Amino acid sequence: MTDERRGVYPFCAPCTAASEAWRTAELTGPMGGRFYGHHDVCENCGSSVRTLYNTVLWVPVSKAGRYRIIPTGGRSYVARRVVDEPVAAVVRREPVAVAHPELDATPEYRLAEACWAESEPGQALPHYQAALAEREQVLAADDPATLRVRLRVAQGLLATANYGRAIAWFELITPQLVAVFGPHHELTRAATEAVTGARLMVGGPRSEALLLTDIVAADIDRLAATDRQLVRDRAALGKALLACGDISDAVEALIQVVRDAVPGHPDTAVYRAALTEACEVAEARGKKRDVQLAGAARQLLSRADAPTSR
């Protein structure tokens, strides 16, 4: 592979540097989106820049952004959002945790780091998971120190081909990484690029939804309804269904997530935001049942006793 090709597969390095990872949704139907144009073709990776328009009754009504597109056969493609000028990051707080050196000195964390350094993600993963459990007893789930280990757990799942659970982790932690470190921090970019790679391996929103459906079914058979893994996997399923255009199923899944989430926990803010996004899609593009479900979801989100972030 040449230097020009050392980007994020299948995009070359220059095209990767000028764009950011983007979740590809299914853009069919009268109320959706459609790409127009075909210019700035890259000689290295063959991608081209196209403009995404929101459509109503198949008529383009507004621009939704510019993307680098590589067709992968039929109507399928991979895409990255073109970044014209990086926006200055506005982070929620300084990305520096209160020092907890005793956590970095724990046996589980040291073993995990040693295995990871030796390129043994399968051996590192259970130690990272154990180290994460220790950290979350002391630090908040969205503490900068905790987020670094959460990211490593997600990367470990991806490296061991556990794509569905990796996607679920990345869906949860990426908004937290953005809030704490900013959208252009190396950790945030690592997460967004990794989840793009996971989705490429899975094969698109429909395949992702099918995979996560099986994972959630397995979770339900052995976990309590409020178990964090089940809630996390179901949230990822909801977002995958939304990307497929299955709006009612997405809203229903995310309603269940918000009902089962822990009140006051940092993760709950991510789930509430996902449900809010699904409501907005339902109200803008959905059918009558979708809009009704969105109304029920809005009531859940507005209730005084609904799970909410601190």
Q: Is residue 88 one of the residues assigned to a domain?
A: no
Same structural domain for residues 195 and 106?
yes
Q: Is residue 308 one of the residues assigned to a domain?
A: no
Same structural domain for residues 105 and 43?
no
Q: Is residue 174 one of the residues assigned to a domain?
A: yes
185: closest CA among 147, 129, 219, 211? 147
How does pLDDT run across 23-73, given as a tens digit for each residue? Answer: 665 554 445 677 888 888 998 888 899 888 877 666 666 777 889 888 876
Same structural domain for residues 268 and 241?
yes
Confidence of residue 87 (pLDDT cuts 50, 70, 90): very low
Return the CATH number at 247. Answer: 1.25.40.10
Confidence of residue 308 (pLDDT cuts 50, 70, 90): very low
Using the predicted structure, report yes or no on whether residue 84 has a pLDDT greater than 60: yes
Q: Is residue 87 one of the residues assigned to a domain?
A: no
Domain-terminating residue out of 136, 167, 199: 199
77: closest CA among 205, 209, 233, 234? 205
Same structural domain for residues 194 and 244?
no
Using the predicted structure, report yes or no on whether residue 125 has a pLDDT greater than 80: yes
How many structural domains comprise the chain? 3
Q: Is residue 231 one of the residues assigned to a domain?
A: yes
More confident site: 169 or 182: 169
Mapped to the 3 state alphabet, what secondary structure does the chain carry?
A: CCHHHCCCCCCCHHHHHCEEECCCCCCCCCEEEEEEEEECCCCCCCCEEEEEEEEECCEEEEEEEEEEEEEEECCEEEEEEECCCCCCCCCCCCCCCCCCHHHHCCHHHHHHHHHHHCCCHHHHHHHHHHHHHHHHCCCCCCCHHHHHHHHHHHHHHHHCCCHHHHHHHHHHHHHHHHHHHCCCCHHHHHHHHHHHHHHHHHCCHHHHHHHHHHHHHHHHHHCCCCCHHHHHHHHHHHHHHHHHCCHHHHHHHHHHHHHHCCCECHHHHHHHHHHHHHHHHHHHHCCHHHHHHHHHHHHHHHCCCCCCEC
Confidence of residue 306 (pLDDT cuts 50, 70, 90): low
More confident site: 222 or 98: 222
Q: Is residue 96 one of the residues assigned to a domain?
A: no
Domain-terminating residue out of 160, 181, 199: 199
Q: Is residue 189 one of the residues assigned to a domain?
A: yes
Lookup: tokens for 168: 């679920």
Q: Is residue 92 one of the residues assigned to a domain?
A: no
What is the mean pLDDT of the segment spanning 239-246?
89
Same structural domain for residues 185 and 213?
no
Q: Residue 154 belongs to what domain range?
A: 101-199
Record the pTM: 0.77
Query: pLDDT at position 25, please?
Result: 58
Same structural domain for residues 154 and 223?
no
How does pLDDT run across 89-124, given as a tens digit for each residue? Answer: 445 554 445 567 777 878 999 999 999 999 899 999
Query: pLDDT at position 20, please?
Result: 78
